[in-house]
Homo-oligomer: A and B are copies of this chain.
Amino acid sequence: MKTSFENLSVELLKKEIRPSYQRIKVLEYLIAKRCHPTVDQIFNDLVKEVPTLSKATIYNTLNLLIKAKLVRVVTIEDNETRYDITMSNHGHFKCELCGTIFDFKVNIDNFMADKLSEFKINERDVYFKGICPSCLKYKK
């Protein structure tokens, strides 16, 4: 997905979502910062640029983008919901020390369990937790 305002507008219109200023701002943010931000992070950063912004708008926009399958939810932790603009299949690793969330490639089709042959699978999430390389180094 291209970052320009024009392109983002087109993407939204394709999904029959009106490209309001706030919606574009949220999309731009998710594309620029690929750190899987929380609602609070998105809001606190964007409100600097858009002082009238409301947190309800962030929630509304994200829920809209999720329904349109432009954004996915990352529930790697039970106490914080995070959002990800990347919809391609990939796993998430959260470092228990620094909190960073890393993307990693994962061939989910390869480990499709036999038991699930009769299930219709719509969504696949792989969440790992542990210590990231730089935190491992630091600990020594």
Contact = CB atoms under 8 A, between A and B. Distances in A.
Interface of A: 73, 75-78, 81, 91, 93, 96, 102, 104-108, 110-111, 113-116, 118-133, 136
A103 to B, nearest CB: 9
A102 B114 CA distance: 13
Contacts of A121: 93, 128-130
A126 B128 CA distance: 9
A101 to B, nearest CB: 12
A75 B124 CA distance: 13
- How many copies altogether? 2
Contact of A131 (B108, B120, B130): B120
Contact of A116 (B104, B115, B120, B123): B104
A92 to B, nearest CB: 10
Nearest to A117: B133
A124 B96 CA distance: 13
A119 B106 contact: no
Contacts of A91: 113
Contacts of A77: 75
A110 B102 CA distance: 20
Nearest to A129: B123
5 contacts: A93-B119, A93-B121, A104-B113, A110-B111, A116-B128
